Structures are given as structure tokens and as C-alpha cells.
Amino acid sequence: MKNQKGFTLLEVVITLVILGTLTVATAQAIQQAIKAKNKLDEQIDDASRMRDALKLMERDINLAYHHRDIEKELNDLVKKSGQTTSRGTGAPAGGSFFGAPTTGATTTSQDPPREAPRRDPVTNFMGTNEAIDFVTMNGARTLRNAPVADFIEVGYILKECKNIVDDQSSKCLWRRTTPYVDLDVTKGGDEVVLVENITEFKLRYIGKGKQDWVNEWKTDESGDGATKGRFPTGVEISLTMTKDKGSTKKKYSMQLIVPVHFPNNPEETNNNQSGGTNGQQGNTGNQGASGATDFQ
């Protein structure tokens, strides 16, 4: 019996205590790792939702559509200068033209009157410090060959909504869209929530005629001399999300400066036309091609 070897009861108890301690410590470490992973995934999801919303706004603003009726502007220019013109063979019906005015010519065509009074299309850009509404080319056809335009009305605003997860109310960023463009770009269409728990949504604008960023840009009759009939060249977006997690708060803030790719403002078009005229004087052979490019 003295030659037999084995563990004593004390050694077995000590071993079990050590194994139990290691098991508890391992379980706690795994639980903490899972919580940290879930927290990191939630933060990534929140940041991704904000980033996706900003990307959508950026695309809409990049493709802001400023319609200008060149035909009407030419007719108004002729009326203002007091000159009469004759319509060429290739001019559209309705007494309008696309060629250069000729002094002393008289109108010889007898065009039928319009069935309804002409109503000029308007694509205003209405922006304040907390909301923005305009027309954009960032539209998609849901049906192939659908008889709809390539541009849509779009608007962004911050207002109340109920959260999907906890059914609590918070400030949310809404996006409004409608395929029907009318005189008032601030109304109509369907609204969807882009991001929840938004505590700050600020907008600023800059363009020709403004020395610094401004909190309001309106192209309709309510706008000032620098904004009336002119789109901004850039929009600054500030977006902040705040989420409450018990006693702690998590805040995410993003800021983006978005350029308008083609403001299509009158002074820019006039400069392009002046450049085309100078080119025509220097090269008579390209006169037709240059003139066609100016009006596209």
C-alpha cells in the first residue's frame, strides 16, 4: 500500500477550484466579447445609415435640375430689343425660333393659335436652414418605357416619427419624392424615414452673389436678388445622431459639402454663348456647329 501513487483529496479539491475559476473567467470573457461585438455592430449600423442618407442627399443635390426655357428667353430678348424676326424652315411651330435675330425682317408665317395659354415650367430650389426642396434628375423608372419624366421633386426635412425597435418617438430625417413637378416644389408626394434619432440637421448654401455661406436659398419670388432664378453652387449638410443607452449617450456627427454639378444659371449660360460667338467670328466654317452647341 505504501508503494501506490495517486492524488490526495486536497489535491483534487484544489484542481476543481482552479478549473471552476478558469471556466467562470472564460465565460465572462466570452460574454464581454459578445457584448462588445454587438455594440460595435450597432455603432457600424448607425454610422452606415447616416452615411447612406448623406450619399442619397449628395446624389440628389449633385443632379439638381434647373430648367430654363431657351426658346422663351430668345423671344423675350427679341421683344425687348424691339426687333421683328422671320421664322426659318427648321423652326418649330408657335412663332418661336432658334436662329439669330435679323434686323428689319417681318414675320411671314401664319401659325395657328395655341389651344391653351402657355405656362412656363418652373423648377425652383427652396432651401432653409432646416429643410430643402428642389427638382433633381436622380429619379428611376419603376417600369420599362413608363411615360414619366427623368426628373422628380425631392425634399428633406427633420420631424417626429416612431422608432421601429422600441416604438418611442424621436426626430427623424424624412425624404419626400413625387414624379409630378408643379409650381410648388415643397408639397406633394410620398415620405419615407431615412434615419432615426437625429438631433441636428442643418443646411447652408453658397453661390454667386454671396460672399459666405447663408442659411436660406430661394429661387422664387420670395428670394433676394442673388438667389431669385439662380441655383446655389454648393450645399453644406450637418447631420448628428444621438442614441440613449441607459445612463450613456452615443453621438455620431457627419458633415458634407455637396456641389451642384450644373446650376444652369443665366450668367453662366450668357458666358458660354459669348464664348461661342467669339469662336464663330474666328472660324466661319464652324459657325453652324458652334451655334447648335450653344443651345443644347
**Three-state DSSP state, 178:** strand
3-state secondary structure of 204: strand
| Residue extents of the structural domains in the chain | 34-69+119-271
Strand bridging mode 234-245 / 169-178: unpaired
User: pTM of the full predicted structure?
Assistant: 0.69
Measured distance between the N- and C-terminal CA atoms of the chain, rounded to whole angstroms: 109
The predicted pLDDT at position 132 comes to 97
d(CA 92, CA 87): 8
Q: Which residues contact 116 (CB under 8 A, 6 or more apart)?
A: none
What is the pLDDT at residue 176? 96
CB 196 within 8 A of CB 45: no
The closest alpha carbon to 139, from 197, 89, 205, 189, belongs to: 189
Q: How many whole angstroms separate alpha carbon 252 and alpha carbon 50? A: 9
Distance, in Å, from the CA atom of 172 to the CA atom of 162, rounded to the nearest integer, reads 9
Tens of each residue's pLDDT in the chain, 296 residues: 566 667 788 888 999 999 999 999 999 999 999 988 888 888 888 899 999 999 999 999 999 999 887 777 787 788 888 755 444 444 444 444 444 444 444 444 566 665 666 666 679 999 999 999 999 999 877 777 777 778 899 999 999 998 877 778 889 999 999 988 888 899 999 999 999 999 999 999 999 999 999 999 999 999 998 999 999 999 999 999 998 876 778 889 999 999 999 999 987 655 555 444 444 443 433 333 333 333 22
Strand order in the sheet with 126-127: 190-195, 169-178, 152-162, 131-136, 126-127, 217-218
Residue 154's φ and ψ, nearest 5 degrees, are -140, 145
CB atoms near residue 267 (< 10 Å): 11
Give residues with Cβ within 8 angstroms of 239, minimum separation 6: 50, 53, 54, 173, 195, 198, 200, 201, 253, 254, 255, 256
In this predicted structure, what is the pLDDT of residue 240? 95
Tell the burial category of 239 from Cβ atoms under 10 Å away from its Cβ (0-12, 13-18, 19+): buried
